[in-house]
Chains A and B, each alone.
Chain A
Amino acid sequence: METERSGLQQVIENIERVVVGKREEIELSLTALLAKGHVLLEDVPGVGKTMMVRAIARSIGADFKRIQFTPDLLPSDVSGVSIYNQKTQSFEFRAGPVMSNVVLADEINRTSPKTQSSLLEALEEGSVTIDGQTRDLEQPFFVMATQNPIEYGGTYPLPEAQLDRFLFKLKMGYPTYEEELSVLNRVEQNHPIQELHEVLSLEDILKMQEQVASVYVDDAVKQYIISIVNETRTHRDVQLGVSPRGSIALMKASQAFAFLHGRDYVIPDDIKRLAPVALSHRIILRSDLQMVEKDGEDVIRDILSTLRVPLAGKEAVQ
């Protein structure tokens, strides 16, 4: 346990050498990786989204592919294509960029729903079907999709059902004054991403993903998850609450988060920390509220601040 934890800490520190002041986002991304989930980054360009994904890939020795989604991108550009080889007189499969360990799907909302769904199938199933043949993806498989919240012209917003495929929806945000200064200092000579080296192997990550599943979740914690989810279903600002898939996602994520913090059990704090990022994209607010600049995250934080955290072991005394 301790060795894995120190390994993960090294990964975090490694990434931090490239991405300044985003420890939380790094931790959450790693959590998603460990929970076999994927991350949707919603932020303006240039705040370090790509850098972070690349740093993660480098730190765990994974190959990294980037797909720039454009309106004319075809599904085959994502998943790969079979080409007729005249020499061998047979079809040969050319793997698409999705056939990789770490994939950055940039500006996913700019492409057509058809192409989007080809990626989303990969996210959900861990496999792609090309020419009627199902091909498993490499493991571990980690996708970080980005979405620009500013430009909506000519975009195809992801439907709610597909947002559900992402474990977390994160925001990067601008760096602080000191952080930005530090960023400038680092890239003055040459970019530090070049000097990053591998800290963990892919095998280590696979092993950890297995261990995460065995992190203990007490009934009190499960009750806490359920009561949060139930609150979203009855909240007055919410049109559609979190589905049971959301509950499962939150629990899985909390296991990974606990593991990342060197625990083999989940505590309510894990849930409380993860619920905003894990649930906010799984609810639909009442349409009239979108005008008042209240988003899913606000609602979830609202619920968290009023919901009494249940105590485990309480019945042991009372």
Chain B
Amino acid sequence: MQRTKQTPKIFIMYMIGYLLLMEWLIPLPEVTNTGYVPVFMAVAGFFFLVMFLQFPWWVTLLLMAGGMLFSIHTIFLDETLFTWDWWRALYLEGTTNIRFMLEGRWYGLSDMFRSFLFMLLLAIMSYLLYFWIVQARRVLFFFLFTVIYIGVMDTFFVYDGNLAIIRVFILGFILMALLQWDRLVYYFPGALQSRFVWFRWTTLALFLLALSTAVGLAVPKAEPQWPDPVPFMERTAGIDAPVGNGGGTVQKIGYGQNDERLGGGFEMDETPVFTASGGEVGYWRGESKNVYTGLGWESDTPEETAAASSLYDESVQTTRQTINVQMAEEHSGSFDFAFYPGSLQSIDVPDANVSLEVDQYTGLASTTALGDSYTANSYELTYQYPEFSVEQMQSASMEDPQHIRDHYLGLPDDLPSSIGQLTEEIISNENNRYDKVRAVERYLNSSEFTYDTSNIAVPERGEDYVEQFLFDTQRGYCDNFSTSMAVMLRTADIPTRWVKGFTKGTESQAGEDNTVYEVTSANAHSWVEVYFPGTGWVPFEPTRGFSSEFDYSQQQNTEENSDTTENEQEQQEEEQQNTDEEEQQQNEEDTAAAASSSGIPFWPFAAGGAAALGALLYIFRFTLIKKVMLLRFRHVRDAATFTSAFHSLLRLLRFAGFNRRDGETLREYGQRMDESFATEDMSTLVQEYEKIHYGGRREKESWDQILSVWTDMVHRVRT
């Protein structure tokens, strides 16, 4: 390394470089589990000082090593400095970690060793910055990368880079102004000899910097034109957005576990989940959730399991039925619980002693064998299939048991009051719980709402999922409808819970009394259960376009009942009037929850790819045009082809910025081109062209030679 005369100015510049490097360290504690950053800063400062003083290389090495050891000691070692134990601890650390490194066990490296490596990096950086600033006098790249680094830290991590970016800009510009001065002096020695020029230069630079900083701070700043890129990247990379930090996500339909954050569109997926054959099926129940957070559903019910589910009171008329379930290959081993119609009584798995543990609050029917969870792929379910009596529900009391009130009436404190007001309006004319529920169900089934699965909004922080759907978007799928119904009813003190599972599936008849249901991911669905004292949990279907699959029996002898019937008939007629779109939806069904696998949208990639391709084409357009030309005219066998080739060469030249001027003959133009590209090709070609078109000589023995001249000329053309 060439020795440079060290001046205070060089020291100042080098120290600005140090400060820039420190901007890299500041965010570290916030984004990694790095501690002791001041120690790293101090040791880096020490390295810079050692570097600046330009000792002989071995002194520099020794000093740096000493600095490293001392800081490692400060951070990690309890032993007294330079004692036998101290050395031994160090030695052990070193050998162990080097062994880990050689074995590729990167996670095994100790903090101490990583700190050592980091300090090594800082030492290298001190050397690099010395080279850039003192030797090369160029620092733009380091400056740019610092800016990018701060930008990335600010965008992707919690680190707030607002101040850092200002500091970096000020430091960077000062440094570049000083270096520019140095380069000027180097390239134009003597041109700037006045003693005060340096002072004036610096003052001017500082003044401009202060001015631009002030302007930069003062001008209004537009809101970001793009949303936060993080959710987008997470989505495209297939990472689940963390709760409360996501934008709109597109998911694949299916049955998932996490419902804390609902919303976003989804894509259809016809992967089979299971097939079943046997008795009657309404919906296949998975589990229910009871806590609405404003963004999605969670569960906080106590764990209380039994061997069978008890959804309905004894007074409900039920039939005992069995059904055989065969999990599809794609999903074998996916579920350690059973989906069941009605109220599940028992499970029978061939060749295994499997028993049920049904959560009494959520209804989740876990399958266990000998106390461990068991994943059954083929089993027979026995269940009670209900038929609800409308009269019983209409006449049910409003007195709910305490445990129901405890768990199924909760609402977020900040739930917008508009939801309650709307519900009040809807149910004001009804005087019993059943009719109220039906009124809300009808309201959601009305044409005010649209069933759609794509481009569904996701509530941002501070927005409410239900409010957004009811008053803002009014577009959505089952999660929107079912959650809205559950929440609306709760505002009217009606206990509800949100249930997810599958719809019946595609029904087909396989022999007498044996219906086969084929359930795919697209059948995933969510609905609402409402508690009626004396009846139990009764399912309702608020999603527009879905008809209720549950049996509600009623006698048509009271006016009220006939009202309801009419309503139901109206509803059914309306559904029949609905177009194919909705029939299709019947088949496509719905999602129940945030799916575990996120779909990757195609268009951003297509657009990005097209843009990248366009940019590439633009950058290499000249080369590309030449390639195409050479390919197109690789054979020239007659005058017409040669003419085309010649004209395309003229166009190429024009594209390269060499226009034939007004009044310039072809020959003059050719000579000018030959001068520009140091050749005689163009004149040769022009003469050939003249011979053909002014001389009328279209025949020629061999075109090879002229073609090679042409090819050579095409190669020579540069912008």
A→B interface (CB under 8 Å): 216, 218, 220-221, 263-269, 272, 304-309, 311-314, 316-318
Contact = CB atoms under 8 A, between A and B. Distances in A.
B595 to A, nearest CB: 58
A251 B496 CA distance: 103
A221 B667 CA distance: 14
A317 B643 contact: yes
A133 to B, nearest CB: 46
B696 A308 contact: no
Given A269-B667, A307-B663, A313-B689, A216 B643 contact: no
A265 B643 contact: no
Contact of B665 (A218, A264, A268, A318): A268
Contacts of B693: 218, 220, 311-313, 316
B663 A267 contact: no
Contact of B666 (A218, A265, A266, A309): A309
A138 B19 CA distance: 101
Contact of B647 (A304, A305, A309, A314): A314
Nearest to B663: A305
21 contacts: A218-B694, A218-B696, A221-B694, A265-B690, A265-B691, A265-B695, A267-B665, A267-B667, A269-B668, A307-B662, A309-B665, A309-B666, A311-B666, A311-B693, A312-B693, A313-B692, A314-B647, A316-B644, A316-B693, A317-B644, A317-B647
A216 B663 contact: no
B644 to A, nearest CB: 5
Interface string B672-699: 0000000000000000011111111000
Contacts of A220: 693-694
Contacts of B691: 265
Nearest to B686: A267
Nearest to B667: A269
B81 interface: no
Nearest to B640: A316
Given A265-B691, A265-B694, 6 more contacts: A216-B696, A269-B665, A306-B663, A307-B663, A312-B693, A317-B647
B664 interface: yes
Nearest to B648: A317
Contacts of B696: 216, 218, 265
User: Mostly helix, strand, loop or mixed at chain B's interface?
Assistant: helix
Contacts of B695: 216, 263-265
A136 to B, nearest CB: 35
A261 to B, nearest CB: 11
B65 to A, nearest CB: 75
Contacts of A268: 665-667, 694
A79 B354 CA distance: 140
A309 B694 contact: no
A306 B643 CA distance: 26
Contacts of A221: 694
A314 B694 CA distance: 12
Given A218-B696, A314-B647, A267 B662 contact: no
Q: Which of B643, B647, B660, B695 has the most CB of A within 10 A?
A: B695
Contacts of A264: 695
Nearest to B695: A265
Q: Which of A266, A306, A313, A316 has the most CB of B within 10 A?
A: A313
Contacts of A316: 640, 643-644, 693
Contacts of A265: 690-691, 694-696
Contacts of B667: 267-269
Contact of B663 (A218, A304, A312, A318): A304
A313 B662 contact: no
A249 B594 CA distance: 91
Q: Which of A263, A268, A272, A309 has the most CB of B within 10 A?
A: A309
Nearest to B660: A309
A309 B663 contact: yes
A263 B665 CA distance: 17
Nearest to A307: B663
Nearest to B690: A267
Contact of B694 (A272, A306, A312, A317): A312
A314 B660 CA distance: 14
A268 B693 CA distance: 11
B76 to A, nearest CB: 79
A272 B661 CA distance: 14
Interface in B639-667: 640, 643-644, 647, 660, 662-667
Contacts of A305: 662-663
A267 B643 contact: no
B655 to A, nearest CB: 16
A216 B690 CA distance: 12
Q: Which 6 A-B pairs have the closest CB atoms?
A: A313-B693, A265-B695, A312-B693, A305-B663, A317-B647, A268-B665
A305 B694 CA distance: 21
Contacts of A308: 662-663
A233 B456 CA distance: 74
Q: Which of A221, A263, A267, A306 has the most CB of B within 10 A?
A: A267
Contacts of A216: 694-696
Q: Which of B662, B693, B696 has the most CB of A within 10 A?
A: B693
A317 B646 CA distance: 10
A267 B694 contact: yes
Contacts of A263: 695
Contacts of B644: 316-317
A311 B209 CA distance: 58
Q: Which of B662, B690, B691, B696 has the most CB of A within 10 A?
A: B690
Contacts of A318: 647
A274 to B, nearest CB: 12
A307 B664 CA distance: 8
Interface in B393-409: none
A133 B647 CA distance: 59
Nearest to B651: A317
A258 to B, nearest CB: 9
Nearest to A271: B665
A309 B691 CA distance: 17
B643 A313 contact: yes
A266 B693 CA distance: 10
Contacts of B692: 313
B647 A266 contact: no
A10 to B, nearest CB: 24
B556 to A, nearest CB: 84
A148 B182 CA distance: 69
Given A317-B643, A317-B647, A266 B662 contact: no
B646 to A, nearest CB: 8
Contacts of A269: 665-668
Given A266-B694, A267-B690, A313-B689, A306 B662 contact: yes
A305 to B, nearest CB: 4
A267 B664 CA distance: 12
A116 to B, nearest CB: 36
B238 to A, nearest CB: 53
A111 to B, nearest CB: 40
A263 B667 CA distance: 14
A318 to B, nearest CB: 8
A273 to B, nearest CB: 9
B217 to A, nearest CB: 56
A269 B647 CA distance: 19
